């Protein structure tokens, strides 16, 4: 499960860095006036902000899904553990009872003989 998280984090990082590098290169090689460049920078900034917001939302949703899955798995594991413990308790009682009865000394009624 942690491999999936690190792969997703690498994807998000690569996506954002690639977007920034692409925007910078396009601005450096664009033959336009300063006003047009500033407008383009502003527009690209808004576009990148929107993209980052989408990635953040996707990441939040994925994190919530993983948290729910982890909670479900933990509860399931707890139930299984209780079931196994109860089964072991019953088995040990069944095995101990005959030994316990055999180890208990039988009382003799001394008054009946007199």
Distance (Å, whole) CA 13 – CA 53: 13
Question: Would residue 65 count as lying in a domain?
Answer: yes
Residues of the chain with pLDDT under 50: none
Residues 55 and 15 sit within 8 Å (Cβ to Cβ)? yes
pLDDT at residue 92, as a whole number:
82
Instruction: Report the predicted TM-score, pTM, of the whole model to 2 decimal places.
Output: 0.44
Question: Would residue 51 count as lying in a domain?
Answer: yes
pLDDT at residue 50, as a whole number:
85
Question: Would residue 16 count as lying in a domain?
Answer: yes
CA angle centred on 67, ends 61 and 73, rounded to 5°: 140
pLDDT at residue 73, as a whole number:
95
Domain that holds residue 60: 6-72
**pLDDT tens for each residue of 67-76:** 999 999 999 9
**Number of residues in the chain:** 114
């Amino acid at each position: 499960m942690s491999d999936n998280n690190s792969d997703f984090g690498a994807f998000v990082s690569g996506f954002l860095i690639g977007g920034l590098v692409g925007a910078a290169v396009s601005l450096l090689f664009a033959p336009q006036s300063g006003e047009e460049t500033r407008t383009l920078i502003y527009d690209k900034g808004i576009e990148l902000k929107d993209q980052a917001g989408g990635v953040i939302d996707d990441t939040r949703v994925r994190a919530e899904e993983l948290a729910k899955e982890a909670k479900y798995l933990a509860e399931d594991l707890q139930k299984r553990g209780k079931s196994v413990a109860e089964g072991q308790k019953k088995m040990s009682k069944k095995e101990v009872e005959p030994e316990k009865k055999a180890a208990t000394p039988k009382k003799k009624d001394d008054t009946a003989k007199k």
